[in-house]
Each structure stands twice: as structure tokens, then as C-alpha cells.
Amino acid sequence: MAGRRNQKNIYATAQLLNYARDSYLERTSRPVYAIGFLLPFIVFYEIGAVLISTDVLDQHPGRVAAFMWLQDLFRYLGAGSRFTWIAPPLAVIIILIGLQITSKKPWYFCLSDYTPMVFECVSLAVPLVVLSLLFNSPAASPDNVSQAGRDSPPALACAAQSPPSSPGRENASPGHPDVGVPRVHSLMTDIVTGVGAGIYEELVFRLILICMLMALFQDLIGMSHQNSVVLSVMISAALFSAHHHVVWVDGGLRRTDVVDWMAFTFRTIAGVYFAILFAIRGFGITAGTHAFHNIIALIVNAIFFAPRA
């Protein structure tokens, strides 16, 4: 009897919030659901990155910075060039499998939950898109506004991408069209990288970084749990925002977006939002929300704020 009670307590406290057992909220918070839900996103990013020609990727800031960090890590550990391409998605799956094992929760996945999860992610992403329009002033994006011939600011996508390799592109703004760049596949390239950013930025800045910061502040330094949570969330959110403007790539820091405090503040708030969502709903819903936010923001930009001939 005591063993059953302990098992029940372990099961109930695996989530930050104790949802009713086997309810939609409880099921979709499981790591195994994150694997099943995000697998199509991972495949889409991998296939999309391969199908988009190398020339377009070189002319476009289309490489997800967080994905490249994982590649560099495995390359540093001695992995071959072919393995480094599949290593990041394998890392996502292996980490989630480990979390599923430690959670002691059921392993089944109900396909009927997939569509509601999509609608939930879209619903959670829309407020961020609206907030980005409120935070992003026309003055912060003069080129986009003048080209579009509109007074409203474009939506900010939370997808940090590596700087383009071609010369003269250091000031490119991710998620927005650039003057003089071929328009072939540009929107699709943005969508592919936006989906990849949703997965791998959440892996790095929420699943890995927050856990590491919590271990540092709470276990090593001895801070209280509440202070450790607040500090971990704020640091991860600030770093998440900063890496949309300056990234470490090719052995040095490079600027990827014009530093604008309104955009920085919005992305910091978005980082806090994703962290809270991660704590309440788990990795799958958070990464899906991030990906759909990027997709919606990019489509809104393409329809309403793209340069017109």
C-alpha cells in the first residue's frame, strides 16, 4: 500500500501543475507527446533545409543558430560531418526519451490529441504576434516601412539565424526581406528556419539552459527555489533575446539583427512567456507555440509588409 502511494505521489508531482490524471492537459505535457507532436516539425525542417538550394541558404540568413551550436558541439566531440546534421534531432529525441523514462508516465500517444495540440499552439502564439506589432515601432524598421508603403510595423519573428556568408549582408534582419536578395524560396526558407528555431531554441534556452541554471543557483549556490526559478527564467530570457541580435558562430561574435531596445524587450518578454509555458505545459507545446509564432509572424509580414514592386 505504501509503495502504491509513493508511486502515485511521484507521478503526480512530475509536472509543475498537477493536472487530472490522463486528462488532455496531463497527457500532452508528457515528454512522449513532445516526441510524437514535434516529429513532423523535425522532419519538415530537416527535409526543407536539404531541399532549399545551398545558393539560397548562402544568400539568406537561413541557418538556425541554435541548430549550428549543437552541430559544433558534436563536431568538437569528434562526430563526422554527416552525423552532425542528424545529431541535433537525435539529441532532442534522446533527451525527451530520458525525461519520459524518469517521469514514470505512460508511453502511449493518442493521435486524436494531435489536432487539439495544433490549435492550442496557434492560440498561444497569436497573442505574441499581436504583442510584437505593439512593441515594434516603425522607426525600428525604416526600410521595411518605406518599401511596404505602410505606417504599421512588421511582426517580429523569434527565430535567430546565423549571419549570411555572402559579403555586405551583416545588417540583414531575420524574418524580413532584404533589398537586392533573390526572392526565390525566401518565404519558404524563413518558414523552414522558423520551424527549426522553434524546436532548437526551446531545447537550448528552456530545456537545457534553465535546468543548468536551476542546478547552479539552487543546488550549488544554495539559493531558495523561488529565487532560483525567477533568476533562471530572467537570465535565459535575456540571453534568448540577445542571441537574436548577436550570435556566436564560426569562432566569434557576429551581429544578425539591428539592436533595437523595443525588439529586445519584446523578445525578452517572449522568452519569459515561453519559460512559463514550458513549466506549465511541457516542451512539446512550448516548441510548437514558438514554431507557429514564427510561421504566423512571417506570413503576416509577407502579406502585409513585404516590399511591393
* Secondary structure (DSSP) of 157-188: P---BPPPSSTT-TT--TTS--TTS--TTHHH
Report d(CA 8, CA 10) in Å as an integer: 5
pTM exceeding the 0.85 threshold for the entire prediction: no
Phi then psi for residue 253, to 5 deg, are -85, 135
Q: Coil, strand, or helix at residue 161?
A: strand
What tens-digit pLDDT sequence spans the chain (309 residues)?
Answer: 444 444 444 333 335 667 888 889 999 999 999 999 999 999 999 888 878 754 444 444 446 777 887 877 788 777 777 777 788 888 899 999 999 999 889 998 999 999 999 999 999 999 999 998 887 754 444 343 333 333 445 666 665 555 544 333 333 333 333 333 334 447 888 899 899 999 999 999 999 998 899 889 988 888 888 888 889 889 988 888 887 776 655 555 566 666 677 888 888 899 999 999 998 999 999 999 999 999 999 998 888 876 665
Q: Coil, strand, or helix at residue 64?
A: strand
Report d(CA 98, CA 116) in Å as an integer: 25
Report d(CA 229, CA 232) in Å as an integer: 5
Contact between 282 and 34 under an 8 Å Cβ cutoff? The reply is yes
The partner residues of 247 in beta bridges, in order of sequence, read 254
Report d(CA 309, CA 301) in Å as an integer: 16
